[in-house]
Amino acid sequence: MLQASRMVRSEKIRVFIVDDSAVVRQVLQAVLLRDPGIDVIGTAPDPLFALQRMQQGNWPDVLVLDVEMPRMDGITFLRKLMLEHPLPVVICSTLTEKGAQITLDALASGAVSVVTKPRVGLKDFLIAQTEDLIRTVKAAARANTASLAAPRRPAPAAAAAGEPAPRGVVRPLPHVLVDTTEKIIAMGMSTGGTVALERVLTQLPRTLPGIAVVQHMPEKFTAAFAERLDSICALDVREARDGDRLIPGVVLIAPGGRHMQVRRSGAQYHVDVRDGPPVNRHRPSVDVLFRSVAQCAGRNALGIILTGMGDDGARGIKDMHDAGARTVAQDEASCVVYGMPKEAVKLGGIDASLALDDIPSTMVDYGRQ
């Protein structure tokens, strides 16, 4: 049984650190161990691994928890923890720098305190804030654990039963952390797309968010295409492999003959490369990519549809638009074939139609936001 209140004990405060960055884990541990009254009993790169460790008898007095992590985001884990084994949690995340809502969510879910990490100069910041971090952890150790327990709320019946969303409705994943500093770009093209994509990618810096690309292309051609682009771009361009993570500076091109989808893992994005029947007569299909992005990323994505024959991608980018993503189409004057962008515009799924040479600057601006 957990005690209703936490007494200040003579022994050291036991702290467990959960952060997907090995550097952050190492620095936080060194910072906290400067105080003789604190003992770091363990660290973990994600919440599920941490839970396994703690369930083996390593329950800490205070948990220091990041928000953006693989497999399960920190807010979801925090809610689960407060239902099953409430204990003092200090959120330490760059995500809280983005706005008040995540901070409010963390505190409403049971966090004792929130420490905002900067996105740059992180190591120096943690060292400079040693006293504040130690003070925060010590204060958390005195928290009343009974007051941290979250009320049990049943999941909605439809979500619990796993019922599919009605046709045309984009239902967000039940555990998705909507606000995340991770952003992605999804691009689709067909006829004329190889040249158009080259013109766009060669103008982009390496700091751009991860990019997922579907270009209608036969099997065995995409690897060579990706290698060529990689040789002339600042970005790291490669043919996608199943499970690859979308990270800044990387462009993943769907292999010819296979569909590519984006999925969410905690607060990170990965791609699934799968066999399957053609969609809109194509494999890979732009619609398959765009619809997956609508489902897992919503407003954390930018969708771009370039030159191409037919209508593949038009309905998918409309789904992205409806899910809150920003959407761009190549304009008629700069397209080799104004088919796919035209159909997307007709469906009302496009925020802006731009000349091909104006699209790179739009992507850069999106990455800076």
Indicate which residues carry an active-site annotation: 190, 216, 312
Domain 13-148 top-level CATH class = alpha beta
Say what the pLDDT of residue 104 is.
64
Q: Which residues contact 89 (CB under 8 A, 6 or more apart)?
A: 62, 63, 64, 65, 78, 81, 110, 111, 112, 140, 148
pLDDT for 174 beyond 70: no
Q: Give the pLDDT confidence of 253-275 residue by residue, as tens digits.
A: 999 999 999 999 887 899 999 99
Q: Spell out the alpha helix ranges (H) of the chain.
A: 22-32, 47-55, 74-84, 100-108, 122-128, 130-141, 145-148, 157-161, 193-201, 222-232, 286-296, 314-322, 340-346, 359-368
Question: Does 191 or 61 have the greater pLDDT score?
Answer: 61
271 strand-pairing partners: 262
Which amino acid is it at 27? V
Distance CA 107, CA 140 (A): 13
Question: Tokens 């003070």 sit at which residue?
Answer: 135
Q: Which of 144-148, 167-171, 201-205, 226-230 has the lowest mean pLDDT?
A: 167-171
CB 179 within 8 A of CB 96: no
Q: Which of 72-86, 143-157, 235-249, 290-304 has the lowest mean pLDDT?
A: 143-157
pLDDT for 175 beyond 70: no
**Taking phi first (over 0 means left), then psi (-120 to 50 degrees means alpha), and beta for anything else, what does residue 280 get?**
left
184-368 belongs to CATH 3.40.1580.10: no
- Residue 351 is classified by DSSP as S
Percentages (nearest 5) of helix, strand, coil residues in the chain: 35, 20, 40
Domain positions in the chain:
13-148, 184-368
pTM of the model as a whole = 0.69
pLDDT for 83 beyond 80: yes
CB 218 within 8 A of CB 190: no
Q: Give the pLDDT confidence of 314-340 residue by residue, as tens digits.
A: 999 999 999 999 999 999 999 988 999
Q: Which residues contact 180 (CB under 8 A, 6 or more apart)?
A: 67, 68, 73, 95, 267, 300
